[in-house]
Amino acid sequence: MEDNLPNWWLLARKKMTKVRRKTFDSLCLLLSRQLWLERNNRVFRNGVKLPDLLVGAILEQASLWSKAGLLDIVLLFSG
Protein backbone atom coordinates (compact mmCIF):
# COMPACT_ATOMS: atom_id res chain seq x y z
CA MET A 1 0.00 0.00 0.00
CA GLU A 2 3.07 2.27 0.24
CA ASP A 3 3.23 2.53 -3.57
CA ASN A 4 3.10 6.34 -3.70
CA LEU A 5 4.32 9.27 -1.64
CA PRO A 6 1.00 10.26 -0.01
CA ASN A 7 0.36 6.69 1.16
CA TRP A 8 3.93 6.33 2.45
CA TRP A 9 3.69 9.67 4.25
CA LEU A 10 0.39 8.81 5.96
CA LEU A 11 1.68 5.43 7.11
CA ALA A 12 5.06 6.78 8.23
CA ARG A 13 3.59 9.68 10.21
CA LYS A 14 1.30 7.30 12.12
CA LYS A 15 4.46 5.63 13.45
CA MET A 16 5.64 8.96 14.90
CA THR A 17 4.63 10.15 18.32
CA LYS A 18 2.20 13.06 18.17
CA VAL A 19 4.91 15.40 19.45
CA ARG A 20 7.17 14.53 16.47
CA ARG A 21 4.54 14.61 13.71
CA LYS A 22 4.76 18.35 13.00
CA THR A 23 8.52 18.11 12.54
CA PHE A 24 8.19 14.97 10.42
CA ASP A 25 5.59 16.68 8.24
CA SER A 26 7.81 19.75 7.87
CA LEU A 27 10.82 17.62 6.95
CA CYS A 28 8.80 15.74 4.31
CA LEU A 29 7.57 19.04 2.88
CA LEU A 30 11.08 20.51 2.87
CA LEU A 31 12.57 17.49 1.08
CA SER A 32 9.74 17.30 -1.44
CA ARG A 33 10.00 21.03 -2.16
CA GLN A 34 13.78 20.93 -2.62
CA LEU A 35 13.59 17.91 -4.93
CA TRP A 36 10.79 19.58 -6.92
CA LEU A 37 12.84 22.77 -7.28
CA GLU A 38 15.84 20.75 -8.48
CA ARG A 39 13.65 18.87 -10.92
CA ASN A 40 12.35 22.17 -12.32
CA ASN A 41 15.89 23.53 -12.53
CA ARG A 42 16.93 20.51 -14.59
CA VAL A 43 13.88 20.47 -16.85
CA PHE A 44 13.34 24.17 -17.50
CA ARG A 45 16.75 25.76 -16.98
CA ASN A 46 18.99 22.90 -18.05
CA GLY A 47 20.82 23.25 -14.74
CA VAL A 48 22.12 20.49 -12.53
CA LYS A 49 23.27 20.53 -8.92
CA LEU A 50 25.70 17.82 -8.01
CA PRO A 51 24.41 15.61 -5.18
CA ASP A 52 26.70 17.18 -2.56
CA LEU A 53 25.48 20.67 -3.52
CA LEU A 54 21.86 19.53 -3.40
CA VAL A 55 22.38 18.06 0.07
CA GLY A 56 24.04 21.32 1.11
CA ALA A 57 21.06 23.32 -0.18
CA ILE A 58 18.67 21.03 1.72
CA LEU A 59 20.67 21.40 4.94
CA GLU A 60 20.77 25.17 4.48
CA GLN A 61 17.00 25.29 4.05
CA ALA A 62 16.54 22.99 7.06
CA SER A 63 18.59 25.41 9.12
CA LEU A 64 16.45 28.35 7.96
CA TRP A 65 13.23 26.45 8.62
CA SER A 66 14.54 25.54 12.07
CA LYS A 67 15.33 29.18 12.87
CA ALA A 68 11.81 30.09 11.75
CA GLY A 69 10.34 27.52 14.13
CA LEU A 70 9.06 25.25 11.37
CA LEU A 71 11.42 22.34 11.92
CA ASP A 72 12.87 20.80 15.08
CA ILE A 73 15.49 18.31 13.87
CA VAL A 74 16.64 17.55 17.42
CA LEU A 75 13.11 16.51 18.40
CA LEU A 76 12.73 14.27 15.35
CA PHE A 77 15.95 12.35 15.89
CA SER A 78 16.07 12.32 19.71
CA GLY A 79 15.52 9.06 21.50
Q: Could you tell me the sign of the dihedral formed by the alpha carbons of 62, 65, 66, 71, in that order? A: negative
Cβ neighbour number for residue 40 with a 10 Å cutoff: 11
Residue 62: the pLDDT is 92
Per-residue model confidence as pLDDT tens for the chain (79 residues): 568 989 999 999 999 889 889 999 999 999 999 999 999 999 999 999 999 999 999 999 999 999 999 988 788 677 6
Residue 79: the pLDDT is 63
Residue 2: the pLDDT is 62
